[in-house]
């Protein structure tokens, strides 16, 4: 009888424990995908409400077509993606931020969290522009997939760039929840895994560029260059789960600098065959003998919102321009927008789109005489969001608001037109990043 009583009591204890466990789990789940009053006051926002995929869509698409679903308060990657497909992005773009999320991966699985992702026909996949916090099952990868991982491919690395101390990294096994965090603060970047820092680095430094230009990203010129872009989740052919995705935007710092040092082309990249050189403290562009292509001299850095002033003098012909929010492919193919610099009668300070729409704004005929041919001119370009304004020699020339321009990202680039016989001098290029 005593044995029976003990057995009954043990069963009762187990049942009560199970009920308590279910209650704890239910309580835990009920707290998922929510913000506390304190978090709301601090400026946090949810990127996933626990019920829908509102605010997410296909990369380079207008809607969400999969392979992603909402399952029990999580976003689940169904495991049908590949290297070329299966990416979803936030509708909104983010510049500086604190991003936190919970995730778990299938056995031998692979996924990722990317940021500063740019879209467009020239970017077929997100990772050619957006850095990636790697999410992967290190422990079972080789057994499941038949080959090993390089250190730069392992979990919590800045993919193909910076790696942690794997001896101190606290990675939980496949099927268990991990918490990750990315803080991107005006170029200073910190990755966290389960409360511990994995990597910390500064973007756009000489060390960063040396890593970018000598490894996997050697032939991806726009990788990591954007200072604002979409958050992206990757379905890399394996199931993965995400929840409690929240982000807090951080303020951007105003930066003021000279783009040209008056001595050499430090900080600039030359595209095409035309001549770009320094003479008497000025930056000179001059047509080469083979003038069948346009030529460009572009900043290494991106400038999206900015206030730029510069001076130019047209010594011969003077057909040139200042591109902004532009990307350039070799030998010299540009995508972006141009503030025109040209001989009188050709809309200097007007805005032209290098693909698609052509002229967005031409200047009034009565303003053509503001240009001083053969002498120094001062141009100002102010770009903030979808609004762009230009001035020439202190006179307002263009004020345009355009949604497509507002979505642009890229470099400042000086142009030399094709056709030959062109020579333009530039000096006092001063920019304030807004």
Q: Would you say residue 16 has pLDDT above 50?
A: no
What would the mean pLDDT of 198-212 be, rounded to a whole number? Answer: 97
pLDDT at 18: 42
What length is written for the chain?
Answer: 434
Using the 8-state DSSP alphabet, how is residue 226 labeled?
-
Q: Is 132 helix (H, G, I), strand (E, B) or coil?
A: strand
Domains of the chain with bracketed CATH: 34-249 (2.60.120.560), 255-433 (2.60.120.560)
Q: Would you say residue 22 has pLDDT above 70?
A: no
Q: Would you say residue 58 has pLDDT above 60?
A: yes
pLDDT at 269: 95
The candidate with the shortest Cα–Cα distance to 353, out of 403, 394, 307, 306, is: 403
pLDDT in tens, 137-177: 999 999 999 999 999 999 999 999 999 999 999 999 999 99
If one counts every other C-beta atom within 10 angstroms of the C-beta of residue 140, the result is 16
* Alpha-carbon gap, residue 75 to 244, rounded angstroms: 10
If one counts every other C-beta atom within 10 angstroms of the C-beta of residue 427, the result is 16
pLDDT in tens, 380-427: 999 999 999 999 999 999 999 999 999 999 999 999 987 778 999 999
pLDDT band at residue 349 using 50, 70 and 90 as cut-offs: very high
Q: Percent of the chain beyond pLDDT 70?
A: 93
What would the mean pLDDT of 260-282 be, rounded to a whole number? Answer: 95
Residue 105, CA distances (Å) to 85, 111, 121, 127, 152 in order: 18, 8, 31, 20, 18
What would the mean pLDDT of 366-375 be, rounded to a whole number? Answer: 96
Q: Would you say residue 180 has pLDDT above 90?
A: yes
Residue 72, CA distances (Å) to 50, 171, 241 in order: 8, 23, 10
What would the mean pLDDT of 345-368 be, rounded to a whole number? Answer: 95
pLDDT band at residue 289 using 50, 70 and 90 as cut-offs: confident
pLDDT in tens, 290-300: 666 789 999 99
Residue 92, CA distances (Å) to 85, 117, 189, 218 in order: 20, 11, 20, 28
Range among 29-38, 323-332, 396-405 rated most confident: 396-405
Asked if 151 and 141 touch (Cβ cutoff 8 Å), the reply is no
pLDDT at 66: 81
Contacts of 181 (CB under 8 A, 6+ apart): 98, 99, 100, 101, 190, 191, 192, 193
pTM of the model: 0.89
In the block, residue with structure tokens 């037109």:
417
Q: In what order do the strands lie in the sheet with 110-117?
A: 56-58, 87-94, 229-235, 110-117, 132-136
Q: What is the mean pLDDT of the chain?
A: 92
The candidate with the shortest Cα–Cα distance to 297, out of 275, 315, 319, is: 275
Cis bond before residue 164 (omega within 30° of 0): no
């Amino acid at each position: 009888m005593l044995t029976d009583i003990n057995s009954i009591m043990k069963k009762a204890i187990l049942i009560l424990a199970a009920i308590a466990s279910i209650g704890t789990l239910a309580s835990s789940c009920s707290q998922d995908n929510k913000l506390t009053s304190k978090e709301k006051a601090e400026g946090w926002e949810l990127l996933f409400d626990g019920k829908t995929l509102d605010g997410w869509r296909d990369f380079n698409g207008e809607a969400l077509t999969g392979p992603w679903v909402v399952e029990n308060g999580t976003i689940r990657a169904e495991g049908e993606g590949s290297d070329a497909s299966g990416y979803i992005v936030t509708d909104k773009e983010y510049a500086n931020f604190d991003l936190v999320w919970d995730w778990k991966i299938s056995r031998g699985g692979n996924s990722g969290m990317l940021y500063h992702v740019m879209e467009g026909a020239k970017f077929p996949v997100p990772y050619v522009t957006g850095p990636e916090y790697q999410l992967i099952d290190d422990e079972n990868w080789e057994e499941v997939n038949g080959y090993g991982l390089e250190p730069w491919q392992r979990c919590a690395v800045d993919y193909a760039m910076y790696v942690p101390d794997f001896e101190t990294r606290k990675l939980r096994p496949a099927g268990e929840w991990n918490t990750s965090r990315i803080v991107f603060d005006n170029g200073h970047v910190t990755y966290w895994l389960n409360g511990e820092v994995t990597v910390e680095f500064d973007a756009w430094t000489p060390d960063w560029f040396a890593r970018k230009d000598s490894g996997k990203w050697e032939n991806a010129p726009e990788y990591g260059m954007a200072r604002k872009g979409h958050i992206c989740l990757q379905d890399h052919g394996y199931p993965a789960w995400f929840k409690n995705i929240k982000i807090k935007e951080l303020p951007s710092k105003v930066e003021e600098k000279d783009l040209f040092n008056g001595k050499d082309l430090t900080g600039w990249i030359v595209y095409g065959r035309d001549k770009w050189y320094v003479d008497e403290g000025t930056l000179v562009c001059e047509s080469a003998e083979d003038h069948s292509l346009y030529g460009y001299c572009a900043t290494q850095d991106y400038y999206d919102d900015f206030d730029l002033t510069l001076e130019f003098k047209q010594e011969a012909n003077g057909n040139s321009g200042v591109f902004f929010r532009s990307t350039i492919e070799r030998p010299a193919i540009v995508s972006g927008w141009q503030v025109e610099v040209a001989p009188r009668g050709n809309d200097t300070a007007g805005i032209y789109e290098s693909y698609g729409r052509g002229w967005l704004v031409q200047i009034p005929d009565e303003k053509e005489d503001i240009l001083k041919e053969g002498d120094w001119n001062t141009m100002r370009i102010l770009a903030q969001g979808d609004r762009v304004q230009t001035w020439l020699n202190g006179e307002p020339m263009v004020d345009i608001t355009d949604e497509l321009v507002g979505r642009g990202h890229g470099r400042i680039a000086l142009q030399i037109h094709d056709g030959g016989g062109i020579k333009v001098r530039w000096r006092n290029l001063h920019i304030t990043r807004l």
